[in-house]
Amino acid sequence: KAGVTQTPRYLIKTRGQQVTLSCSPISGHRSVSWYQQTPGQGLQFLFEYFSETQRNKGNFPGRFSGRQFSNSRSEMNVSTLELGDSALYLCASSLDPVAPQHFGDGTRLSIL
């Protein structure tokens, strides 16, 4: 069974730009969650999608948004990038949002 696939693996952007990250979940998993990981803050929950609906949202500004498609693939968008957005963005899929999470390798985003 293929794991969770995130693309791209690495991204370098400048302040003010926007970025879209992609996540393909494990086949059969309808719940996709996104996390931001930084050295000082650990794993911070961004949002969770289930059957194309955002069901949970963390404490992040509106610049962070996402969506899920009918095939369960999910995208995350960050607009007006700031230096503090530099982080590893992890996507996880599961059968439901509180079931064991299967993480992708992440996208490492660097803002210059």
Partner 1 sequence: GQQVMQIPQYQHVQEGEDFTTYCNSSTTLSNIQWYKQRPGGHPVFLIQLVKSGEVKKQKRLTFQFGEAKKNSSLHITATQTTDVGTYFCADKYGNKLVFGAGTILRVKS
Query: Which of 55, 80, 83, 110 lies at the binding interface for partner 1 (CB under 8 A)?
Result: 55
Q: Which residue type occupies 104?
A: G
**What's the CA dihedral at 1, 10, 39, 13 to 10 degrees?**
-140
Query: Which of 5, 11, 75, 97 lies at the binding interface for partner 1 (CB under 8 A)?
Result: 97
Whichever of 11 and 43 has its CB closer to partner 1, that residue is 43
Residue 28 contacts partner 1 per CB under 8 A? no
Could you give phi then psi for residue 83, rounded to 5 degrees? -55, -35
Q: Which residue type occupies 86?
A: S
**Residue 37 Cβ vs partner 1, minimum distance, rounded to whole Å:** 9
Count of Cβ atoms closer than 10 Å to residue 77 Cβ: 13
What is each CA distance from 37 to 1, 30, 53, 65, 88, in whole angstroms? 26, 23, 23, 16, 5
Interacting span for partner 1 (CB under 8 A) from 17-25, 33-41, 68-76, 77-85 = 33-41
Query: Which of 51, 98, 110, 112 lies at the binding interface for partner 1 (CB under 8 A)?
Result: 98
Q: Which residues would be at the binding site for partner 1 (CB under 8 A)?
A: 33, 35, 41-43, 45, 48, 55-56, 58, 90, 92, 97-98, 100-106
